[in-house]
Structure 1
Amino acid sequence: MTNQASSFRPTRRIYAVTKNGDKKIWRSIGALWPHRDGKGFNHKLDCLPLNDAEIVVRQIDDEAEEGAR
């Protein structure tokens, strides 16, 4: 069974969010692509979160991505 992504660019970014006092620290740990049939997702993780990090998936904002480069 093959689940291919609809494009080569991810549509969502995966973050590990941890707290440091009152401050939240967001670390990008991977990306997510929807399946062509719209019934699922493929994801790739660059690392696994530790220390009770919350996993958050957010839509990629093209303008924010341009500013981060």
Structure 2
Amino acid sequence: MDKRKRAFGIQLVPAVPAVMGFQNGRMGRSRMEATMAKKETTAAPKNVPTHEAFVIDGEGEKAFWTRIGCAWQHNDTNGFNITLTAIPVNGRIVLRAKKESGQ
């Protein structure tokens, strides 16, 4: 009997890459070209949220703020698209302008 394994009457053969030179995702490109291509594809998205959504439980200095989502302002500045990762059972939702990363 052949040394290759059989399953359900089908001979199993080790997988071989369909395209030679595809090792490490380079597809025959130089290492520098492959690195540059990765940097281009991992660029920051242009559509960044303009506001953050919080649920606030409590009042004053003892209030507890929990971030629950983001909001994108419409181009005409008359509304928002809001994405929430949680829906609060109690408390209030507040939209705040997103702070810059350096602040």
Tell me the TM-score normalized by structure 2: 0.49
**Is the strand fraction higher in 1 or 2?**
1
Structure 1: stretches of 5+ with no match in the other structure:
1-6, 65-69
Q: Which residue number in structure 2 is paired with residue 10 of structure 1? A: 49
Find out whether 1:53 has 2:94 as its counterpart.
Answer: no
How many residues end up aligned between the 2 structures? 56
What is the TM-score normalised by the length of structure 1? 0.70
Q: RMSD value over aligned CA atoms?
A: 1.8
| Higher relative contact order (CA closer than 8 Å, sequence separation 6+) | 1
CA drift at 1:39: 2.3
Alignment of 1:1-69 (within 5 A): 7-19=46-58, 23-50=62-89, 52-62=90-100, 63-64=102-103
**Per-residue CA distance 1:10-29 (angstroms, 9 max, x = gap):** 01000000028x61100000
- Percent identity between matched residues is 30
Secondary structure at 1:29 match in 2: strand
